[in-house]
Amino acid sequence: MANRNHHTIILLQTSHHRATRTFMDFDSISLAIDGICGLYERKLKDLNPAVRNISYDIMDLYNFIDGLADMSALVYDGSKHAYFPYDREWIKERTFQHLKKLAR
């Protein structure tokens, strides 16, 4: 799936408690990936409030994604007029491609 503007809903559950289920929605896959990175960065800042510059690598981000009780994406395909589900492995692959593109 090309990275055109596909409305994307990220479904996540931070722990095994059902009350931690939530979602984030974005106008594109790229914005959704940025949102996931932002979620991780906020967690890092909460855990390290005295550190001014926090850095992380892709494996740290993957560990964060894998550490969630659940994460998946629903991506709208306008040609089919439907949302299609994707798992956390797809999210991690899209994250890698997105960050690689940004690094260029």
Per-residue pLDDT at 3 exceeds 70: no
How far CA 60 is from CA of 5, 43, 54, in Å, comes to 27, 12, 12
Residue 4 confidence (pLDDT): 61
* Residue that the structure tokens 């994604």 belong to: 65
Residue 104 confidence (pLDDT): 86
- The mean pLDDT value for 85-93 works out to 98
Residue 69 confidence (pLDDT): 97
Q: pTM higher than 0.85, yes or no?
A: yes
State what percent of residues in the chain have pLDDT above 90: 88
Write the pLDDT tens digit of every residue in 30-68.
999 999 999 999 999 999 999 989 889 999 999 999 999
CATH of domain 8-96: 3.30.2260.10
